[in-house]
């Protein structure tokens, strides 16, 4: 299976991508995590990426596409989940071209549709592990020991771009760019919208059922 997860900031892309990868044995590529790794590098590109991420704006295509292309080229035939990529029509058409060069297509594009009213609570309580990048929520998805990652014992942190002013820019940017992206995948017959306003388990039940259908098993074998 080759999947892309779309949805606004805080929709649960990272949370559901981790579950999909565990259940179906796929590789998880989070564009945000890949960019955050680049931003730590003391290079001109790293500084540029930092400026964009920390202000909540999209990183320019020339940087983003290079990173994704390298990732896809490195994985041969294994299935994957793209989390947060593509975000614009130009990224979607570039992805179609990259995959065509590898004789591949996407199997499904999952749109996590969320009631905007639930998003602020998700941001306010999000905590992430700086080591393994696992995502938690202080009330809705807490770690076993408060403030500590279940997997490696690292102290959990708040993402710098989860500050309210930056969150507003991220959500506005998403709203301004998403319609042509959804239209592109709807016209390609790849778009599947899921109601992602419920609990993590409620959303997961719907996704697991969809990915277990025979048409997905067929694409997994392709």
Give the residue with the Cβ less far from Mg ion, 37 or 100. 37
Residue with tokens 């016209």: 187
Active site residue 2: no
Q: Which is nearer to ligand AP5, 16 or 107 (CB)?
A: 16
x-or-dash string of contact with ligand AP5, 81-100, rule CB under 6 A: ---xxxx---x---------
The contact pattern for Mg ion, residues 3-42, with x = CB under 5 A and - = no contact, is -----------x----------------------------
Q: CB of 65 within 8 A of CB of 12?
A: no
By CB under 6 A, tell whether 59 contacts ligand AP5: yes
Count of C-beta atoms within a 10 Å radius of residue 175: 11
Structure tokens at 136: 């938690």
> From the CB of 170, what's the least distance to ligand AP5, in Å?
5
Q: Which helix (H) or strand (E) holds 39?
A: helix 31-39
| Strand duo 135-137 + 2-6: pairing | unpaired
- 3-state DSSP assignment of residue 133: coil
Looking at beta carbons only, is 56 or 79 nearer to ligand AP5? 56
Half-sphere exposure of 77 (CA within 13 A, CB side): 4
Positive/negative CA dihedral, 166, 174, 198, 33? negative
CA distance 48 to 128: 23
Q: Is 199 in the site for ligand AP5 (CB under 6 A)?
A: yes
- Residue closer to Mg ion by CB (options 123, 185) is 123
* Beta pairing partners, 112: 194
**How near is the Cβ of 215 to ligand AP5 at its closest, in Å?**
25
What residues make contact with Mg ion under the rule CB under 5 A? 14
What residues make contact with ligand AP5 under the rule CB under 6 A? 7, 9-15, 31-32, 35, 52-53, 56-59, 64, 84-87, 91, 122, 125-126, 135-137, 140-141, 161, 170, 196, 199-200, 203
């Amino acid at each position: 299976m080759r999947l892309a997860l779309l949805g606004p900031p805080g929709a649960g892309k990272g949370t559901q991508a981790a579950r999909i990868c565990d259940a179906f044995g796929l590789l998880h590529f989070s564009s945000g995590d890949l960019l955050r790794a680049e931003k730590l590098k003391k290079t001109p590109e790293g500084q540029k990426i930092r400026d964009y991420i920390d202000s909540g704006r999209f990183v320019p295509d020339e940087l983003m596409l290079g990173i994704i292309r390298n990732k896809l080229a490195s994985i041969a035939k294994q299935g994957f989940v793209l989390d947060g990529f593509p975000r614009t029509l130009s990224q979607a058409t570039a992805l179609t071209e990259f995959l065509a060069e590898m004789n591949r297509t996407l199997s499904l594009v999952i749109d996590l549709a969320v009631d905007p009213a639930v998003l602020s609570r998700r941001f306010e309580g999000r905590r992430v592990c700086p080591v393994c990048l696992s995502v938690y929520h202080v009330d809705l998805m807490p770690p076993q020991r408060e403030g500590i990652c279940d997997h490696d014992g690292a102290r959990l942190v708040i993402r710098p771009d989860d500050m309210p002013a930056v969150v507003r820019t991220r959500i506005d940017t998403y709203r301004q760019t998403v319609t042509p992206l959804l239209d592109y995948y709807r016209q390609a017959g790849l778009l599947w919208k899921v109601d992602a306003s419920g609990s993590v388990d409620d959303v997961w039940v719907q996704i697991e059922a969809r990915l277990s259908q025979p048409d997905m098993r067929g694409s997994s074998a392709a």
